[in-house]
Structure 1
Amino acid sequence: MKVVLHIDSDKERRLRLTLNNMKNLLAAVEGRPVEGVVVVNGPGAQQVTASMDMELSELVTRLAGQGIVFFVCKNSLAQFDIAPEVLHPAFKVTRAGILKLVELQRDGYAYVKP
């Protein structure tokens, strides 16, 4: 199963919902393989720094440990003046969040925007 979850909101509850959706998916598939990706762009980029809520930070770390890959849009980082060095360590910078979403969907990932 291949799935990409998308968040573009600066609302913490949206980030929490998205991460919990991924956590719940992993639990529901009962060990079947999941290629999971989370793509953050737009105002959502403001939420994924190392200073994010501790509970959310720990959830990102746990999900990354389970093979979930996290991307944040380089354009959004520039728009909100966020240095890549201050991101949560699980996040990789992608050239453009929209391009990453299109590529993943082209490659068969189901798109979910909680």
Structure 2
Amino acid sequence: MKHLLTVAAFVAATSAFAEGQTHRVAVHVDENDPQVMNMALNNVQNVRNYYDSQGDTVVIELVAYGPGLNMFVEGKSPVADRISAMSLEMGDSLTFAACGNTLRGMSKKAGHDVALMSEAVVTPSGVVRLIELQENGYAYVRP
């Protein structure tokens, strides 16, 4: 009986491995620096490529707030083309979260609504979103 339990445990572990794991990663951008933005996007692509090569999947959420929100501002983002391409390539496994607090502040300062790229989804608070993601098992990366 002990042998059968060992075999059953091995088969269950092997099956889980064969199906691959799902990893969750939160990437944080809070600087209006094209190098930091590009590094964050490089991290996203490299993580995706690595887990794909392992037969695993990865769900990534890039959260931008403060000066980093410029990453998502329509007509102003220095990485707009990369965001659009990566969004198309990675689909639902990549989310771009924009801080609503920062967006309201930017709009107030500009005297009009600041438009974000269509790929960005507004979340009430970027900091709170990062906390929620980590509480839900996401690994945290800050380039």
TM superposition score normalised by structure 1? 0.89
Please give the alpha-carbon distance, in whole angstroms, between the structure 2 residues aligned to 1:103 and 1:47: 21
Aligned residue among 56, 69, 75 for 1:32: 56
In structure 1, the gaps of 5 or more residues are none
Q: Is the 8 A contact 2:71 2:80 kept in 1?
A: no
1:72 and 2:98 are equivalent in the alignment: yes
**Structure 2 match to 1:42:** 66
Please give the alpha-carbon distance, in whole angstroms, between the structure 2 residues aligned to 1:64 and 1:96: 22
**Structure 2 match to 1:15:** 37
Please give the alpha-carbon distance, in whole angstroms, between the structure 2 residues aligned to 1:61 and 1:70: 11
Instruction: State which structure, 1 or 2, has the greater radius of gyration over its C-alpha atoms.
Output: 2
Identity %: 28
In structure 2, the gaps of 5 or more residues are 1-22
Aligned length: 111
Please give the alpha-carbon distance, in whole angstroms, between the structure 2 residues aligned to 1:19 and 1:60: 8
Q: Is the 8 A contact 2:64 2:71 kept in 1?
A: no
Partner amino acid, structure 1, of 2:127: I
* C-alpha RMSD of matched pairs (Å): 1.5
Q: How far did residue 50 of structure 1 move?
A: 2.0
Partner amino acid, structure 2, of 1:107: N
Q: Which structure dedicates a bigger proportion of its chain to helix? A: 2
SS in 2 for 1:87: coil
Q: How far did residue 62 of structure 1 move?
A: 2.6
TM superposition score normalised by structure 2? 0.72
